[in-house]
Amino acid sequence: MQLDTLRDLLRQHGAQTCHEERVLRAWCQVRSLDNRHSASENFLPLSLRGALPEINAQLEGLARVVSEHPGEDGSARLLVGLADGQTVESVLLPRDGVCVSTQVGCAVGCVFCMTGKDGLLRQVGSAEIVAQVVLARRRRPVKKVVFMGMGEPAHNLDNVLEAIDFLGTLGGIGHKNLVFSTVGDPRVFERLGQGPVKPALALSLHTTRADLRAELLPRAPRMTPEELVAAGEAYARATGYPIQYQWTLIDGVNDSEEELAGIVRLLSGKYALMNMIPYNSVDALPYRRPAPEKARAIARWLHERRILTKLRNSAGQDIDGGCGQLRARVKIDRHAAARARQEAAQSPEGSGAGLNSSS
């Protein structure tokens, strides 16, 4: 579902631009259609008022919360069901933020991430992206939206940019509080600054070695770390927002002295912030989270060398917080339940129980 589809639906029922914006603003900001200047019944065309129940039903059907998993850190992971039965994940973040998904699955195939294990299943439409923000706003205030959930936003660029423009205007989110996260794609640097809303940019770096980056992100565009930082620096200077470099800290993989020296080499003097995020360990994958004291020492070492570094905990460490983990767990549970039902139906005990209960 695209936002343009919603606009077309409103126009079919007599909405002009002012009516359309009022309905969409009320939906996205979870507000009443009435405002201090006029009641909706005195402002909206009669034909549009009559269609509002149908329109609201369509909006409600865009996304729904399948399950909610609160974390001890104030976050909450939402498993979100879309209209076609597919699911994505959103995370309510501490300090009035929400992390949203832009794809069902992912084609990048980062070896340490669960999201891409099944590949890319489909794109998430711009209206479905905004609907995730609406779900979050029904639970708590949202002043920041980060596009860091399931999927690679650069691979769904039209839908993501449409959602960003909408959230930065009718959605009432400050432009620098809309954070576009990407592994790096030339199309991002070409198009991100062209729209009316210019979001902040987060670049997934993870390593300063091109060979290791190719191993960790096997289907990411072949931009070297040097090229990625150069493009990021140009965007930072053009927008006035520092680039947020994302570094998933994996024990024994990208936490060596060589890597730390490479970070200093690449980021010294840059308009940038390094987000060090200790890895969320997943039972199904061989990678592990470094010891807390090691992670703190790394952040401190970079700070001493004038690299602005924040050591961040991925929200929801205690609730399968790593991207794709909740969806994967639910999928595994469903398969296990279906297998158990099948085995029960095929067993003599299961067949006998069925016959006895019907006799």
Is there a catalytic annotation at residue 323?
A: yes
17-28 helix and 157-168 helix, angle to the nearest 10 degrees: 90
89 given a catalytic annotation? yes
Strand pairing report for 309-311 and 272-278: parallel
What is the C-alpha to C-alpha distance for residues 277 and 280, in angstroms, rounded to an integer? Answer: 9
Q: What residues contact 40, with CB distance under 8 A and at least 6 apart?
A: 22, 32, 33, 34, 49
Catalytic one of 20, 89, 152, 259: 89
What number of CA atoms fall less than 13 Å from residue 99's CA on the CB side?
Answer: 25
- Say how far apart CA 154 and CA 235 lie, in whole Å: 15
Close Cβ partners of 108 (under 8 Å, ≥ 6 residues apart): 116, 152, 155, 183, 217, 218, 219, 220
Q: Which of 28, 99, 110, 323 is catalytic?
A: 323
Q: Please report the sign of the dihedral spanned by the C-alpha atoms of residue 297, residue 298, residue 301, residue 303.
A: negative
Q: In the structure encoding, which two tokens stand for residue 124, read together?
A: 């998430």
CA atoms within 13 A on the CB side of 51: 19
Catalytic residue ranges = 89, 323
